[in-house]
Amino acid sequence: MSPIPEKATGEIHIRGGVRLQGKVKVQGSKNAALPILAATILAEGESYLKDCPKISDVYRMLRLLQSLGGQVRWEGDGVCVSTGSITTQDMPADVITGMRSSLCLLGALLARCGSIVMEYPGGCVIGQRPIDLHLGALEQMGVHFHEEEGRICGEAPEGIHGAEIHLALPSVGATENILLAAVTARGVTRIEGAAREPEVEALCRSLNACGARIEGAGSSCLEIRGVKRLHGAVYRIPADRIVAGTYLFAALGAGGCVLLEQAPCGHMQGVIRMAERMGALCQVTEEGLYVQSAAKPASAGVIRTGVYPGFPTDMQSVALAVSTIAPGETRIEEHIFENRFRVTEPLRRMGADIRQLDSHCLYVKGTDRLHGQRVEACELRGGAALVVAGLMAEGETVVTGCEYIERGYENICKDLRELGVRIHSV
């Protein structure tokens, strides 16, 4: 069987107005899995990644690894990857340009092959997403870049060496690329101003499990001592804090009582605090996160996104959807990506009262209720927000553009059905 299924994408139909009840197991994290999969390029022998999420972005990354000559197979809830000999000749351009996180192959392939020619991972509807920090840091480590026919060409004629890197912004992707290039580089690399997101910490831990020597995992100062080689390892992908947060806010918006099994509560403090401010009762237990919520959420006042441990930008659209029915006013401030407000238009069509003050700031006036509509998802988290809006709306909501949602959610319909929602995809 092919490890990479072709998924039919369609529409999601939701009947709103049902309180959520029951439990659901939280899937493995997309943003942790993707760079950890890229890291298998550096390891000799086989790596087994438990709880790897079965989402389209992971399938795309597996396709890229196969195109490089890697062997890939699913075993239970995990995926086995081995990358014996590597060839960069046949990387499918459409997969690279279609997926931002193909960018983390840059550091891994430069470390493994010493040179790389690849397409730009492309822009994205949530913002420009430049890669200057990635390229600047890798240049400090001995890589020379130039552009040829719109492609990035990188070469390290004398191999990759350690460097003192000060990141002007704590970019998640740039930190990951530096880590991937540094683990087998000559000498020591120090990153000041590194991203502290849990997914970066997971990458550090998985690399260390393969024999890397990284200190400071989870902090903004990382020290990496280059080693000669890495070996394969077994590593469990942590549960997805954004998927858990989506279902937490779904329960907050629709009301109900749910258990989010294996929710990574230790990494969700900012999200849990916000949900509590909006009226949810949250209890962290060994099983996961219990959430209880009355029918109507309260306004948070201000929701401001920030780097970890702040309120995640990936949760902003879902929090916005819930805020549309919170009595009073809510101000939403987006500080990471400049174009994450595209979901406001379909939410307005569902009856939300949202005014955009400037490119970073929304003003939401709570409305009594949303009503079902046919709406289109145009990016991953905005799509999930429309599903959550559908749970809170009167009547039927149809969300199209579901291929975006499948990039990050294994099966949002099945998960929500387990919580009693009348939802199906066609």
Backbone angles phi and psi of 371, in degrees to 5: -125, 150
> Does residue 310 interact with ligand UD1 by CB under 6 A?
no
Minimum distance of ligand UD1 from residue 343's CB (angstroms): 14
Single out the residue of 5, 123, 130, 266 in contact with ligand UD1 (rule: CB under 6 A): 130
Tokens for 149, please give them.
């026919």
- CB-CB neighbours of 10 under 10 Å: 14
Q: Which is nearer to ligand UD1, 34 or 385 (CB)?
A: 34
> Does residue 143 interact with ligand UD1 by CB under 6 A?
no
Backbone CA torsion sign across 209, 55, 350, 376: positive
> Does residue 54 interact with ligand UD1 by CB under 6 A?
no
Q: How many positions of this chain bind ligand UD1 (CB under 6 A)?
A: 24
Q: Are 38 and 105 in contact (CB under 8 A)?
A: yes
99, 126, 150, 382, 401 from 122: Cα distances, Å: 8, 12, 11, 19, 19
Site string for ligand UD1, 85-114 (x = CB under 6 A): ---------------xx-------------
Single out the residue of 17, 22, 98, 127 in contact with ligand UD1 (rule: CB under 6 A): 127
Single out the residue of 52, 138, 165, 172 in contact with ligand UD1 (rule: CB under 6 A): 172
Q: What is the largest CA-CA distance in the chain?
A: 64
Nearest to 405 by CA among 9, 80, 42: 9
Backbone angles phi and psi of 120, in degrees to 5: -65, 140
Nearest to 62 by CA among 339, 78, 44, 261: 78
Single out the residue of 102, 177, 313, 400 in contact with ligand UD1 (rule: CB under 6 A): 313
Over its C-alpha atoms, the chain yields an Rg (Å, rounded) of: 21
Q: How far apart are the C-alpha atoms of 54 and 64, rounded to whole Å?
A: 15
Single out the residue of 75, 90, 132, 164 in contact with ligand UD1 (rule: CB under 6 A): 132
Binding segment (CB under 6 A) for ligand UD1, from list 18-26, 154-162, 172-180, 415-423:
172-180
Exposure on the CB side of residue 392, measured as CA atoms within 13 A: 37
Tokens for 392, please give them.
């809170």
Residue 310 sits at the vertex; the CA angle it makes with 267 and 380, to the nearest 5 degrees, is 80
Beta strands in 40-126 (DSSP E): 43-44, 46-50, 71-75, 78-82, 115-119
Site string for ligand UD1, 21-40 (x = CB under 6 A): ----------x--x------
Binding segment (CB under 6 A) for ligand UD1, from list 2-10, 171-179, 205-213, 289-297:
171-179
Minimum distance of ligand UD1 from residue 57's CB (angstroms): 8
Nearest to 186 by CA among 136, 105, 114: 114
> Does residue 314 interact with ligand UD1 by CB under 6 A?
yes
Cβ within 8 Å of residue 136, ≥6 positions away: none
Binding segment (CB under 6 A) for ligand UD1, from list 5-13, 124-132, 252-260, 349-357:
124-132
> Does residue 131 interact with ligand UD1 by CB under 6 A?
yes
Q: Which is nearer to ligand UD1, 61 or 347 (CB)?
A: 61
**Contact positions with ligand UD1 (CB under 6 A) in 217-246:** none
Minimum distance of ligand UD1 from residue 179's CB (angstroms): 12
Our CA dihedral for 120, 121, 122, 123, rounded to 10 degrees, sits at: -130
**Contact positions with ligand UD1 (CB under 6 A) in 337-376:** 337
Q: How far apart are the C-alpha atoms of 117 and 96, rounded to whole Å?
A: 12
> Does residue 133 interact with ligand UD1 by CB under 6 A?
yes
Residue 364 sits at the vertex; the CA angle it makes with 334 and 18, to the nearest 5 degrees, is 105
| Positions marked active-site | 124
Q: Which is nearer to ligand UD1, 366 or 408 (CB)?
A: 408
Minimum distance of ligand UD1 from residue 22's CB (angstroms): 28
Binding segment (CB under 6 A) for ligand UD1, from list 47-55, 193-201, 265-273, 371-379:
193-201
Q: Which is nearer to ligand UD1, 350 or 384 (CB)?
A: 384
- The terminus-to-terminus CA distance of the chain in angstroms comes to 24
Minimum distance of ligand UD1 from residue 174's CB (angstroms): 5
Q: Which is nearer to ligand UD1, 13 or 407 (CB)?
A: 407
The residues that touch ligand UD1, with contacts defined as CB under 6 A, are: 31, 34, 100-101, 127-134, 169, 171-174, 195, 197, 199, 313-314, 336-337
